[in-house]
């Protein structure tokens, strides 16, 4: 009896069948999500974010008992404020770390030593879970020598209420301190014991330097009052389209002191807002009209 031919060992294996989704998620659903999050929070979602949007919002559908995305989106459009907050929180990315882009903190320390007016105020405009504002506070203490001599207050805002709560708690897994020297860890953090073993908490003196509050950069009126000495707005602009970026920068400009600094993320550039801010170097910006600013348009375009 003839045997069927064996498959060649070099033949490609058949691709696994795609896993069925729990909820139908159509192109129309994605477009509606994209429109709503842009309208409410200014965030621009590319087509590449379809799977991410489904994954994050499917949890919200389960949580509220929605039967479909249209059912869930209808709840938002009906004005469910609590769910609007959960919707925005679900689609907000909060990647952060202590002393991320470390060169900025070296620049900050040198800058702080030149300030004459007291107190010195720094705004972290996308504070996430607190690593950035606490890093700013730590850099300030290191610049002035100790807590008692540090005339710096840090204002820390974010759109996401969940991360603000975690930031205010100031509790982190100990491995999040990997970039900090042992001396810094001892100086600024308390190690947990018992059921808190493996965790650290920011010292009360450090926590007292930072004030947290919710702020949506798209809101018509901001609760923050200027002028401030420096603004950290790092890895935020990449989520907005250029017209939205420009509107936000227009509102930031009068809040920043004439000789203040604006810190952006390494992949961000303001060549489209050169009438507002000019590059000083290493993604640090100053007012366009300020003296001594190094308007290196070529570097800005290369990073955009």
CA 28 to each of CA 33, 70, 294: distance values in angstroms, whole numbers, following the listed order: 9, 9, 46
How would you class 131 by CB atoms within 10 Å of its CB: exposed for 0-12, middle for 13-18, buried for 19 or more?
A: buried
What is the residue-wise DSSP string for 11-78? Answer: SPPPPPPPPPPSS---HHHHHHHHHHHHHHH-PPPPGGGHHHHHHHHHHHHHHHT-SSHHHHHHHHHT
187 carries an active-site annotation: no
Parallel/antiparallel/unpaired status of strands 120-124 and 228-232: parallel
Q: How far apart are CA 164 and CA 129, in angstroms?
A: 6
Backbone angles phi, psi at 286, to 5 degrees: -130, 170
Considering the candidates 29, 34, 158, 160, report the single residue annotated as catalytic.
158
Is 2 labeled as catalytic in the residue annotation? no
How far apart CA 259 and CA 287 sit, in angstroms, is 7
Taking the C-alpha atoms of residue 43 and residue 67, their distance in angstroms, rounded to an integer, is 26
Contact, 238 vs 268, CB < 8 A? yes
Catalytic residue among 56, 100, 166, 201: 56
Taking the CB of residue 288, how many other CB atoms lie within 10 A of it? 15
Neighbours of 176 (CB within 10 A): 16
Q: What amino acid positions are annotated as catalytic residues?
A: 56, 158
């Amino acid at each position: 009896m003839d045997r069927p031919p064996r498959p060649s060992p070099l033949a490609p294996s058949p691709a696994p069948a795609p896993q069925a989704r729990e909820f139908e998620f159509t192109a129309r659903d994605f477009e509606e999500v994209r429109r709503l999050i842009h309208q409410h929070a200014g965030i621009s979602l590319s087509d590449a974010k379809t799977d991410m949007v489904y994954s994050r919002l499917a949890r919200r559908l389960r949580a509220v008992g929605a039967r479909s995305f249209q059912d869930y989106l209808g709840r938002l459009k009906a004005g469910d404020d609590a769910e609007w907050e959960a919707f925005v929180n679900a689609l907000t990315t909060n990647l952060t770390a202590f002393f991320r882009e470390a060169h900025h903190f070296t620049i900050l320390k040198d800058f702080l030593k030149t300030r004459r007016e007291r107190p010195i105020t720094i705004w972290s405009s996308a504070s996430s879970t607190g690593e950035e504002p606490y890093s700013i506070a730590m850099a300030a203490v290191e610049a002035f020598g100790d807590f008692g001599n540090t005339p710096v207050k840090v204002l820390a805002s974010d759109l996401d209420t969940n991360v603000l709560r975690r930031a205010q708690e100031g509790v982190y897994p100990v491995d999040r301190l990997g970039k900090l020297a042992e001396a810094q860890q001892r100086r600024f953090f308390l190690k947990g014991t018992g059921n808190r073993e493996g965790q650290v908490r920011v010292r009360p003196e450090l926590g007292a330097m930072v004030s947290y509050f919710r702020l949506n950069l798209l809101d018509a009126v901001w609760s923050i009052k200027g002028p401030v000495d420096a603004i950290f707005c790092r890895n935020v602009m990449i989520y907005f389209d250029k017209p939205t970026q420009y509107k936000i920068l227009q509102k930031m400009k009068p809040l920043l002191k004439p000789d203040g600094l604006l810190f952006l993320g390494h992949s961000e550039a303001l060549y489209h807002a050169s009438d507002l801010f000019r590059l000083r170097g290493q993604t640090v910006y100053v007012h366009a009209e300020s003296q001594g600013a190094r308007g290196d348009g070529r570097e800005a375009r290369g990073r955009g």
